[in-house]
Amino acid sequence: MDRLRIVGGNPLFGSVEISGAKNAALPILFASILSKQKSIIKNVPLLADINTTLKVLDSLGLKTLFKLDENTMEIDGSSLNAHEAPYELVSTMRASVLVLGPLLARKGIAKVSLPGGCAIGARPVDIHLMALEKLGATFVIESGYIEGKAPNGLRGAKINFPFPSVGATENTLMACVLAKGKSEIHNVAREPEIVDLAIALRSMGAKISGEGTSVIYVEGVESLHAMNHRVAPDRIEAATFLCAGLMTKGKVTVNGISAEFMTSALDFLTQAGAKISDTPTSITAEYVKELSPLIITTEPFPGFPTDMQAQFMALLTQANGNSIISETIFENRFMHVAELIRLGSKIKIKGNEAIITGPVQLTGAKVMATDLRASACLIIAGLAAKGETFISRVYHLDRGYEQIEMKLTKLGAKIFREKEK
């Protein structure tokens, strides 16, 4: 297994290009199942989760081709000849459950392994199934598989979500576009990745409005032609680099993204004392004074994103005073705390609250990545720690960050990938 070795202490200066958003690319690639034609998707990030997605699409019979220019993915939906997403693939990437909506819409049948939990929580799919049942699907769950059927096709419906689940919104949206009649989905997720999926589906001829608000309206169509779409930039990757710049008392610009995607995170960085400036296609965060503590609660978009929680926690170990982070989206998303404590931070957990006392001088140590965003948090901490930090299990990191060592090295970081000794 690989590990990362980081020699801390170098301030980061410069600019870095932001890749396509993993959490937009995944549903958008699965949406290609909805068309019998060849879809073209640009700005797809080169990530382990994208490879897993391609394996799932291949297992369904779709022909996929990745071209390095513009990170373009070609997916030919004409050869769809199966309807099962196997356990081996779904257990490595729970987002494979996003084949449910498209397969039920296109074929009227789907068999998907129950995703199971992951490090950050139980991650049930009850809202996905509730919504798809409202559209006319029936489900049987046995031997760890969800078997869904819609022999007479899907019918539009009015659906109310108990919680604005991102994945459930995506599965439901991808089912509604080919359902007979109109659908209204209330209390849906409003994340930029949902908006990007809606734009991709509209490029196929789908009739959707309201994306980005709490109510999405869909008028089902008979069929969808090929998609032609460029994936939106990754706001979580961008926030990760801005935090890394501030953590090292430097100045980092992220290119290829606009501040509109990141209002909440940028407001908090400003409140902490960072100097934030932006253009229509870039954002700069500059360290100008000692950081002030923050009180953050993670919320569905447009609130503070749970996917930025770990990165901000690393940063707040340097703030002068007590910060509080409350995690309200996932039940177990503080596993990076124990690792940050190994680096010398002072953090106490009380229920779903973490109290971070700073500033502390972090010192390098051996630490272990536990999930994707925790990996990024440990990199940020290692960049500021005195001495060397070794991060094991970086396969977590490779799921969601494209060429992160190269991008950080370009900014002046001393970060090296090596074989676990």
Total of residues contacting ligand EPZ (CB under 6 A) = 24
Quick one: the chain helix, strand, coil %, rounded to 5?
Answer: 35, 30, 35
Spell out the long-range contacts of 78-82 with Cβ–Cβ below 8 A and sequence spacing 24 or more: 78/36, 78/37, 78/38, 80/33, 80/36, 80/106, 80/107
Residues 417/393, Cβ–Cβ less than 8 Å = no
Residue 118: active-site member: yes
Rank residues 320 and 332 by Cβ distance to ligand EPZ and give the closer one.
332
Q: Does 23 bind ligand EPZ (CB under 6 A)?
A: yes
Residues 53/64, Cβ–Cβ less than 8 Å = no
- Within 13 A of 240's CA, how many CA atoms are on the CB side? 29
Rank residues 297 and 357 by Cβ distance to ligand EPZ and give the closer one.
297
Q: Does 168 bind ligand EPZ (CB under 6 A)?
A: yes
d(CA 319, CA 313): 10
Binders in 361-400 for ligand EPZ, by CB under 6 A: 372-373, 400
Q: How far is the CB of 222 from ligand EPZ (least distance, A)?
A: 29
Distances in Å between the Cα of 314 and the Cα atoms of 168, 284, 327, 379 are 30, 19, 15, 9
Would you mind telling me the total number of residues written for the chain in this entry? Answer: 421
Rank residues 239 and 315 by Cβ distance to ligand EPZ and give the closer one.
239
Give the one residue of 33, 80, 166, 314 binding ligand EPZ; rule: CB under 6 A: 166
Rank residues 215 and 221 by Cβ distance to ligand EPZ and give the closer one.
215
Burial of 192 (0-12, 13-18, 19+ CB in 10 A): buried
Rank residues 84 and 307 by Cβ distance to ligand EPZ and give the closer one.
307
Residues 152/136, Cβ–Cβ less than 8 Å = yes
Q: Does 30 bind ligand EPZ (CB under 6 A)?
A: no
Secondary structure class of 309 (helix, strand, coil): helix
Give the one residue of 53, 165, 240, 389 binding ligand EPZ; rule: CB under 6 A: 165
Give the one residue of 70, 88, 126, 418 binding ligand EPZ; rule: CB under 6 A: 126
Q: Does 134 bind ligand EPZ (CB under 6 A)?
A: no
Q: Does 329 bind ligand EPZ (CB under 6 A)?
A: yes
Give the one residue of 95, 110, 227, 254 binding ligand EPZ; rule: CB under 6 A: 95
Q: How far is the CB of 23 from ligand EPZ (least distance, A)?
A: 3
Residues 238/254, Cβ–Cβ less than 8 Å = yes
What's the token pair of residue 320?
């002068």
Q: How far is the CB of 373 from ligand EPZ (least distance, A)?
A: 5
Give the one residue of 128, 229, 342, 407 binding ligand EPZ; rule: CB under 6 A: 128
Name the amino acid, one letter, at 324: I
Give the one residue of 9, 14, 116, 124 binding ligand EPZ; rule: CB under 6 A: 124
**Phi-psi domain of 210 (left: phi exceeds 0; alpha: psi -120 through 50; beta: other):** left
Q: Looking at beta carbons, which residue is closest to ligand EPZ?
A: 167
Please choose, out of 29-37, 72-80, 115-123, 175-183, the segment that lies near ligand EPZ by the rule CB under 6 A.
115-123
Q: Name the site residues for ligand EPZ (rule: CB under 6 A).
A: 23, 26, 95, 121-128, 163, 165-168, 189, 306-307, 329-330, 372-373, 400
